[in-house]
Structure 1
Amino acid sequence: MKHFPKNFLWGTAMSAPQTEGQNLSFGKTATIWDHWFKTAQEKFYQDQGPEITSDVYGHYLEDCRRMQAIGLNSFRTSISWARLLPDGKTINPEAVAFYRQYFLAMLDHGVEPIINLFHFDTPMWLMTRGGWENRDSIDAFAFYARTAFELFGDLVDKWTTFNEPLVHVECGYLYQYHYPAVVDFKRATQVAYHTLLAHKAAIKAFREVTQTGKIGIILNISPTYPKSEAKEDMLAAFRSDLLNTRSFLDPAVLGTIPDELLVLLKENELLPETKAEDHKLIENNIYDFIGLNDYQPRRVQAPKVTRLPAQMPADFYQPYDWPKKKLNPHRGWEIYPEALYDVAMMMKENYHNMP
């Protein structure tokens, strides 16, 4: 019988906005989800908003008992930025008490907390100033991160900055699944760039606060498989990887933005506004480990029509429906275990075998 290593982490993952509830109580201010539910409730499944969710705020001790009962030894969740710093500057003592009790309860039940800082829940105080389009978001996030490290670093050894940063970029600025639900490729690239810099600034703050813990980022990485080996399909797959994988993975691990990505963005008038000092921030702040979320493979083919400049990612590549796929009928997603191996080998061969 094969045995997993003794230090193998058996866990599960949630987030503050999906689970905490008490969305505008105990000192917390509104996030984009609170605002959107108030202004466009019809967009939410069965009118379920952020107010109650699974009420972890009220049931965290019972949840920790259940974690222990089912054999978990790790648990990933997130801190609510708008709860910890309701105005972006002032620490909310009720939030500090809650999170310390929550993390201590995990530890008391043999569960290691792995804490993420951002899970798609931009505070409205930041959003009213332009959100992630505003360069001030970098320093604001770094201050929040430093505050969390200082307040909870004695309880938390493993931190992550962002969960799937590409999701809040494309869902908010390309595909209208998140607030502000605009469709603007140029604004999306600016949001992505500031998000990347915020991640790097948070790592810089972490190194200044502690020398003992570890910090990473969580990316949704799916291998791209072209429809064929035709030149056009291979180019589509290459560009898909540039935008969806290497855009965050290369700067996070290697400290560089791919030259090919910069050329592609420049050719299509999509380059974000930058500053000269950004280069050092990106190059010097490398994380300790990476979280990889794998859902389904990305299968692409060459677009039927090419627009220049591109208006959407579909101008670079389009989905390909592989006729031999196995399907999860409940999600509409392809089941392809080989993708897990391909991602692992990619990390081994191209990214220093990062933990």
Structure 2
Amino acid sequence: MWTEEHRDWKGQNFASLKQGDAFPVDFMWGVATASHQIEGGNSNNWSQFEPNSKSQQLSGEACNHWEHRSEDVDRITNLGVSHYRFSIEWSRLVPSPGEWDEEAARWYSDLVDELLAKGVQPMVTLHHFTNPIWWEERGGFERQENLHHWVDFCKRMFALLSDRVEWWCTINEPAVYTTMGYVLGEFPPGARSFKRARTVALNMMRAHAQCYRALKAMNNGARCNIGLVKNINLFDPYRRWNPVHWAQASLLDRMFNRCWIKGVKTGRFKPPSGMRSHFIEGLKGSSDFIGVNYYTHLLATPFMPTKVEIDPLIRPWETRTDFRYPMYAVGLRRAFEMVKDLDLPIIVTENGVADDDDDMRPEHIRRHLQITAEAIADGLDVRGFYHWSLMDNFEWAEGYDQRFGLYHVDFDTQQRTLKDSGKEYQAIVKAHRTPQVVIMAGGLGTRLGKMTKKVPKSLIEVGGKPILTHILNWAQRQGCHNALVLTGHLGEAFEGFTHPGMSVNFHKEPSPLGTGGALWNARNLLEERFILLWGDDLHPIEYKPLLKRHAESDAPFTMTVTQRHDSMNLHHENGYLQTYNKDK
């Protein structure tokens, strides 16, 4: 038995979310999408099924992201997030057996490069509900002999992108795919068969295990993080005193949640409604992290609705979302507790709400981030949070009727507009993100003699890496993803310099004007707050307490000083600068 906790949110203090001290500096702040829901122009099992879906709405151009990729990357960057989760459309890459679309592959590769150039880390999902039509016609996940086709596709994409992409999701929500497509009939192929559902569930777990082991054996496999994404849908008894309701809730919990989690932990999987478990080779321990998609809880009775359009039961004090299920933020903590025994890092790979007029979403964001922050404070290893979704999109069987985006999309004009909820998420994210680092790298480096005749001092190698790389590595570990390097002497030598996972821009001053002159010349590239560093010094100090001290002091700038040195050219008292003589 378990506790169905509820909270009175009216008196909740969310101040820490805006103060920037609720999450660690390396927390993964993200947004998420799926290919079929935003790209437009796809031809797959879903586009084939849509005329017979509940809404009968066609995905069509969707958000036309395929043509608006760069602008959408700018919108991601505008939110301040450090990570972006997207899926790769298998049907685009392999439109027919044996065919490979190089242009489509290049599109995804370019997307990765654009994200990295903006300091955004990509997270790739290899299966998010859609299959090529030719594969679906061969039986899809109903036939075990079909699995190698998908694994081959995964291997090819991993070979293409794994030199730049660290985070990989194998399969998104296998329980949802199975339940909606083969029990409730809301997803392709629209079946209502527990027998077929058991087969599909078993083969999806086989596919996940095969994919994980295959990718781990490839180049870059050891350094990449590969995991399964599991939707956690909580089930609670409608009447807590009723043993029949408890039995129903427990049964649904085992079928939708526990059997999948147990399979990853033990290597034996008992598919929903199955009578026995099956050993799956390579399944045990087949995740480097567990992705948690969480939206709500459902109240269980033997007569609970089995069609999405029928309103589920809710508690009297709960608020319905546009999707008709309740907003239940405390359940996210219960979802964390459910998966923590896997002893894996936890990433919230999806959390959001259907809210057409955006009056609920800001509070939804605050509540779920508050629950996440509390879980981290209590010792749970939660590494990141991806809001679903970046923008309004095609919501599967619901068509365009449900809006989950931080950006509103006018599907007639493809105009995107940041919502108030997007501004709220943006503010919380930016409060926790380390500001831009500005690195002075224009000096002559005369003290290094001949070493800097042809190489600028910031590119002199120390321990096999340029000094600049060491500086950026430290800044990145402090949560910084945006650097501006001010060059001068031999500035052309920095051309082509990059740093994975960071946006690094360069500005060259035409003549040396000192620190103030270099900053003034680059003033249009400076953020409102920035950390000024020198390109020939590595200062491994913690940025978070420095930023906190700066904010609390309300000073125009804050300087870090050393307390131990043979000679001093700076005098300070009570935390304030008194005198400074650069010539000493």
**TM-score normalised to the size of structure 2?**
0.52
Q: Distance in 1 between matches of 2:149 and 2:331?
A: 36
Tell me, yes or no, if the aligned pair for 2:84 and 2:121 is still in contact at 8 Å: yes
**Per-residue Cα deviation, 1:98-135 (whole angstroms, up to 9, x for no partner):** 01111111111111110001111111111111111111
Unaligned runs of 5+ in 1: 24-29, 306-312
- Residue 12 in 1 paired to residue 9 in 2? no
Tell me, yes or no, if the aligned pair for 2:298 and 2:314 is still in contact at 8 Å: no
Shift of 1:281: 2.8
For 2:29, the aligned partner's letter is: W
Q: Distance in 2 between matches of 1:42 and 1:195?
A: 23
**Per-residue Cα deviation, 1:190-249 (whole angstroms, up to 9, x for no partner):** 111111111111101111112110001111102322232543333222211110002322
Q: Distance in 2 between matches of 1:96 and 1:141?
A: 15
Which residue is equivalent to 1:22? 41
Q: Distance in 2 between matches of 1:245 and 1:292?
A: 11
**Per-residue Cα deviation, 1:288-307 (whole angstroms, up to 9, x for no partner):** 01111111112213x269xx
Cα 1:42/1:163, change in 2 over 3 Å: closer
- Residue 281 in 1 paired to residue 290 in 2? no
Indicate the SS of the match to 1:56. coil
Tell me, yes or no, if the aligned pair for 1:113 and 1:156 is still in contact at 8 Å: yes
Tell me, yes or no, if the aligned pair for 1:137 and 1:194 is still in contact at 8 Å: no
Shift of 1:326: 1.1
Tell me, yes or no, if the aligned pair for 1:88 and 1:144 is still in contact at 8 Å: no
Indicate the SS of the match to 1:282. coil
Structure holding more strand per residue: 2
**Greater Cα offset, 329-338 or 157-166:** 329-338
- Residue 219 in 1 paired to residue 230 in 2? yes
For 2:184, the aligned partner's letter is: Y
**Per-residue Cα deviation, 1:8-27 (whole angstroms, up to 9, x for no partner):** 1111110111111132xxxx
For 2:225, the aligned partner's letter is: K
- Residue 245 in 1 paired to residue 257 in 2? yes
Indicate the SS of the match to 1:220. strand
Indicate the SS of the match to 1:244. helix
Indicate the SS of the match to 1:11. strand
Indicate the SS of the match to 1:335. coil
**Greater Cα offset, 246-255 or 59-68:** 246-255
Q: Distance in 2 between matches of 1:170 and 1:320?
A: 17
Structure holding more helix per residue: 1
Identity across matched positions, percent: 26
**Per-residue Cα deviation, 1:146-166 (whole angstroms, up to 9, x for no partner):** 111111111211000111111
Which residue is equivalent to 1:297? 297
Q: Distance in 2 between matches of 1:354 and 1:235?
A: 31
Cα 1:105/1:213, change in 2 over 3 Å: same
For 1:299, the aligned partner's letter is: L
Indicate the SS of the match to 1:223. strand
**Number of residues of Structure 1 aligned to a counterpart in Structure 2:** 320
Shift of 1:255: 2.5
Indicate the SS of the match to 1:216. strand
- Residue 265 in 1 paired to residue 282 in 2? no
Shift of 1:329: 4.1
Which residue is equivalent to 2:316? 324
Q: Distance in 2 between matches of 1:42 and 1:281?
A: 36
Q: Distance in 2 between matches of 1:82 and 1:247?
A: 30
Q: Distance in 2 between matches of 1:91 and 1:280?
A: 29
Tell me, yes or no, if the aligned pair for 2:123 and 2:168 is still in contact at 8 Å: yes
Which residue is equivalent to 1:351? 342
Q: Distance in 2 between matches of 1:216 and 1:48?
A: 31
**Greater Cα offset, 321-330 or 339-348:** 321-330
Which residue is equivalent to 2:532? none
**Per-residue Cα deviation, 1:296-343 (whole angstroms, up to 9, x for no partner):** 112213x269xxxxxxx97xxxx9724334123422121112111112
Q: Distance in 2 between matches of 1:331 and 1:280?
A: 38
**TM-score normalised to the size of structure 1?**
0.83
**Greater Cα offset, 230-239 or 14-23:** 230-239
Q: Distance in 2 between matches of 1:3 and 1:187?
A: 45
Indicate the SS of the match to 1:86. coil
Shift of 1:185: 1.0
* RMSD of Structure 2 on Structure 1 (CA): 2.4
- Residue 236 in 1 paired to residue 236 in 2? no
For 1:280, the aligned partner's letter is: E
Which residue is equivalent to 2:171? 162
Which residue is equivalent to 2:192? 183
- Residue 48 in 1 paired to residue 39 in 2? no
